[in-house]
Amino acid sequence: MALGTICALAAPALPAHAASAATFPDFTTPPEQIARAVLADEPGTVAVGIWRQDHEQSALLRRASEDGPAMVQSAAAGAEPLFEIGSISKLFTGLLLAQAVEHGELGLDDSLGTLLGGAYRLAPETAAITLRQLATHGACLPREAPGFPGYTEPNPFAAIDRQRLYAAVAGLRLAHAPPCAGAYSNFGMGLLGQLLADHYGKPWATLVRERITGPLGMHDTMQVLGARQERLVPGRFHLEPAPPWDFDALAGAGALRSSTTDLLAFARALSAGSAGPLGPAATRMLTPLGRYRAGEIGYAVMMRGTGAHRTYFHDGLTAGYRALLVFAPDTGEAAALLAANTHAEPSRLLTGVLARRYPPAATARGTPSDAELAAVSGSYRVDRDTLEIFAAQDGRLYRRLSGGGFRPLEPAGTDTFIDAPVGAEFVFRRQDGRVAGVDLYQGGGSYSASRTEAAAPAAVVIEPARAADYDGRYAGKRLLRTELKLDVRQSGGQLGVRLGNFWRQPVFPLPGRPDRFVFEDRRAQLQFTRDAGGKVDGAVLYDRGVISVRRLP
């Protein structure tokens, strides 16, 4: 299995660019509907638990094959299935740190130089890294530890033991002295977990059991399952089986397995604050420590909103699993979602929860002129790796974020547009009469982007009726290689193409080239072919070669 193209243990992100125009589930949606929305047409298992109005609702959805029926059963039928929760484990590392700070045993501004003493010779920038910066992804560290074998390996995190971890720390030469703007780092959070283990002289998993899961009665949450191993749902990477991951010194970044019931108990204990079973450390953990992307971050926990109306969350991704935990203390609501397929979409639930809790301030009204649409169309840079792209087509403005497909926007006033289903509002900024940037307000968070010189694409979507012509599956032989499979789906005129076993990617029409589409990297193109009757019967993929595929019945 090749995982090199994904960001395992992925950074939490709000997918405002989701291609589907359908509504998004939230706390009020029945768990079975949430599971269906998240699993979509994938095989695998999804468990959903919702805590609302002082009681739990749950559902378990299973689909044995890509084309098979989705079978729903009560999650209470027998022992609960267990899943890898990936980066939700970081919340447990954050809570351990919050407990240590609350008890006066460690300080947020304790540095690596102080904590590691003279045991390792550290570069000055590395020695200055603090626990606060590790907990908030502000330590200027790379995403993965130096020496990390990469996601093409079947069990990559097992390769980093304590000796290799600290050797990587000692060998660091940072490009910038901390703090840095939030840059997600499994390396940093795993390092924090090992520092806590060293401070207390106990393995990270033992600290989690003694200080969190044991007192809360979370008996299905652990790093090593032992006798519970048979309850771990087999993971998938789309259609392929994906083996579980093991962790050594980086356990604090993503080692835990759990159930929806246990995760809801964890969310409720944190939501209860100082009066709850975790005491003042719970309140401390949920206190903002700094900015992170469009929102804020506490002790490893992401948050949106302000004051008492904050929403807290983290997601997780391993080789064969996806997970989400989101909770709102002010309303007493929480959701835990666990999926045994990396192609499931828990982010749909997070999008819906935040859109419902923080709807756009503006409402749709008016009709923009062609001149107004032309003025805001273009490319806007969010950061080094991310662009916001706005393009006008047929009297309407469309928007996408790097990596995603186009979604239609509604006008809401001068230089203001909204995407109500995802709770997003876009306000364009002018300088000397020309649009120079855009401010995004979405889901209780915000960020700004500056206009670049790149022009908007001439075409973004096609008529849904025409787009439906391409829906279907295609297959063809590659020279001296296995069969290539394409799965093409459209939503709202935006085509999404899955090549083989990888994630679906958006493709965009090429003006003046009927049935021709281009991928985001502009390197690969897809030309659909038609039979004598004008029906789409195949496609040709141009990507470092030419591969023809036929449409399957």
Q: Token pair 């969190």 is at which residue?
A: 212
As given in the structure block, the two tokens for residue 443 are: 């889901």
> Could you tell me the two tokens for 116?
């590691």
Q: Is the residue at 18 inside a domain?
A: no
Spatial neighbors of 358 by CB under 8 A, at least 6 apart, are 304, 305, 311, 423, 442, 443, 444
> What global pTM score does this model have?
0.93
What's the CA gap between 241 and 219, in Å, rounded?
Answer: 27
- How far apart (Å, rounded) are the C-alpha atoms in residues 527 and 542? 8
Task: Kindly state the DSSP code that residue 211 receives in the 8-state scheme.
Answer: I
In this predicted structure, what is the pLDDT of residue 288? 98
The residue among 160, 219, 205 whose CA lies nearest residue 187 is 160
Residue 67 and residue 111 in one domain: yes
Q: Side chain identity at 16, as an amino acid letter?
A: A
pLDDT at residue 74 in the model = 61
Same domain for 235 and 199, yes or no, is yes
Residues 348 and 384 in one domain: no
Q: At what angle do helices 186-200 and 162-170 cross, to 10 degrees?
A: 120
Domain co-membership, 507 together with 416: no
CB 525, CB 531: distance < 8 Å: no
Residue 1 belongs to some domain of the structure: no
- Tell whether 165 and 305 lie within a shared domain: yes
Please, what's the largest Cα pairwise distance for the chain? 78
- Per-residue model confidence as pLDDT tens for the chain (553 residues): 232 333 345 444 444 334 444 579 999 999 999 999 999 989 999 999 999 999 999 999 999 888 788 888 765 556 899 999 999 999 999 999 999 999 999 999 999 999 998 889 999 999 999 999 999 999 999 999 999 999 988 899 999 999 999 999 999 999 888 999 889 999 999 999 999 999 999 999 999 999 999 999 999 999 999 999 999 999 999 999 999 999 999 999 999 999 999 999 999 999 999 999 999 999 999 999 999 999 999 999 999 999 999 999 999 999 999 999 999 999 999 999 999 999 999 999 999 999 999 999 999 988 999 999 999 999 999 988 899 999 999 999 999 999 999 999 999 999 999 999 999 999 999 999 999 999 999 999 999 999 999 999 988 999 988 899 999 999 998 766 678 999 999 998 999 999 998 889 999 999 999 999 999 988 999 999 999 999 999 999 998 889 999 999 8
For residue 242, being part of any structural domain is answered with yes
Distance CA 283, CA 278 (A): 9
The verdict on 148 and 70 lying in the same domain is yes
Return the CATH number at 475: 2.40.128.50
Domain of residue 522: give its range. 464-551
Contact between 396 and 406 under an 8 Å Cβ cutoff? The reply is: no
* Residue 23 within a domain: no
Q: Measuring CA to CA, which residue among 20, 16, 24 is closest to residue 400?
A: 16
CATH classification at residue 274:
3.40.710.10
Q: In this structure, are 330 and 374 located in the same domain?
A: no
Indicate the Cα dihedral angle 373, 375, 379, 384, nearest 10°. -130
Residue 538 domain-assigned (yes or no): yes
Instruction: Give how many domains the chain has, as a whole number.
Output: 3
Q: Residue 312 carries which side chain, given as an amino acid letter?
A: Y
* Residues shown for the chain: 553
Instruction: Establish if 3 belongs to a structural domain.
Output: no
Say how many CA atoms lie within 13 Å of 136 toward its Cβ: 27
Same domain membership, residue 192 and residue 99? yes
> Do 204 and 284 share a domain, yes or no?
yes
Backbone angles phi, psi at 433, to 5 degrees: 85, -10
Write the secondary structure of 391-412 as one string of H (helix), E (strand) and C (coil).
Answer: EEECCEEEEEECCCCCEECEEE
Whether 459 is covered by a domain: the verdict is no
Residues 190 and 275 in one domain: yes
Q: Are residues 210 and 271 in the same domain?
A: yes
353 and 375 within one domain: no
